[in-house]
Amino acid sequence: MTKRPIVGVAGCGSMGLPMALALQDAGYEVWGLDVRPRSEFGSFQPCMLEDSEEFASRVEIVISVVRDVAQSLELCFGRQALFKRAR
């Protein structure tokens, strides 16, 4: 059996959180990243990370479900800088 990649969902709002939960239900290890506090994510709370460096170090695939171009640039190159932190 092939090992499934570890998936990260950045932007766990009304679309991202259901996607993360569906991936978990399908057997993937999933980590979430969002600007909102971890306490807002119910049963997915243990899988939410608040630090983008930790998020980048744990995941092999990132699914971005942020709102717009500005948030995408922030996620990838700005304060969160996932592309600067990726393995």
The pLDDT confidence band at residue 79, using thresholds 50, 70 and 90, is confident
The pLDDT confidence band at residue 82, using thresholds 50, 70 and 90, is confident
| Mean pLDDT on 50-73 | 93
Tokens of 18: 């259901």
Please tell me the distance from the alpha carbon of residue 31 to that of residue 28, in angstroms, as a whole number. 10
User: What is the set of domains in the chain, with CATH numbers?
Assistant: 7-85 (3.40.50.720)
Is it the case that residue 17 has pLDDT exceeding 90?
yes
The pLDDT confidence band at residue 67, using thresholds 50, 70 and 90, is very high
- pTM for this predicted structure: 0.89
